[in-house]
Structure 1
């Protein structure tokens, strides 16, 4: 079964009156945030033309840890967020709302 069919099934169930529990809603929001962060790290790394190993070296981490971050498999600590922002030569902005998450790395200007 492909992902679009899962989404359609979920939407159909919601339309039929199924209400998701608060725990499921919270879990879904957490997953969206992890994926948004993973995408932001990946996009910034690619923008800089760096490999995972190069970012890991800059951040004092392992390549495996960068892979877990980009795969949304790691829950970042504040310390990790700071290290990644520094390694990616950027400031990190995270905006959280009830139904959306936005994670942006803003490149430091070359001064």
Structure 2
């Protein structure tokens, strides 16, 4: 069986809209936080404490429901003991907390 919404398509004109681009950026940042947090097994609550935030905010951020501020991104990078690499273009954003080798 395939997913419930597998036949949905997004028209190209919607992909270029500012709301779509912003939502994609929020999701990319949230995914980067989640990916980096789960490698060492840090809980949302522990990350929130390290970053001077709340577990609810971390949960909402990872789910793409929050547009992070620059100060929050700085605190998260410090709390995750990592750098945050952002690549912003006119049509999207790529975010990654690279793991030091």
The interval holding the TM-score normalised by the smaller chain is 0.7 to 0.9
Give the ranges of 4+ consecutive aligned residues of structure 1 lying more than 3 Å apart after TM superposition: none
Query: Once the 2 structures are TM-superposed, how far is the Cα of residue 2 of structure 1 from its aligned partner?
Result: 3.4
Ranked by relative contact order (alpha carbons within 8 Å, sequence separation 6 or more), the top structure is 2
Look at both structures and tell me which one has the larger radius of gyration over its CA atoms.
1
Query: Once the 2 structures are TM-superposed, how far is the Cα of residue 81 of structure 1 from its aligned partner?
Result: 0.4
Gaps of 5+ in 1: 15-19
CA RMSD, 1 decimal? 2.2
What is the match of residue 94 of structure 2? 102
Shift in alpha-carbon separation, 1:32–1:62, aligned structure 2, 3 A:
same
Gaps of 5+ in 2: none
- Tell me if the contact between 1:89 and 1:108 (Cα under 8 Å) persists in the aligned partners: no
Which structure dedicates a bigger proportion of its chain to helix?
A: 1
Give TM-score, length-normalised by structure 2. Answer: 0.85
Matched residues, number: 99
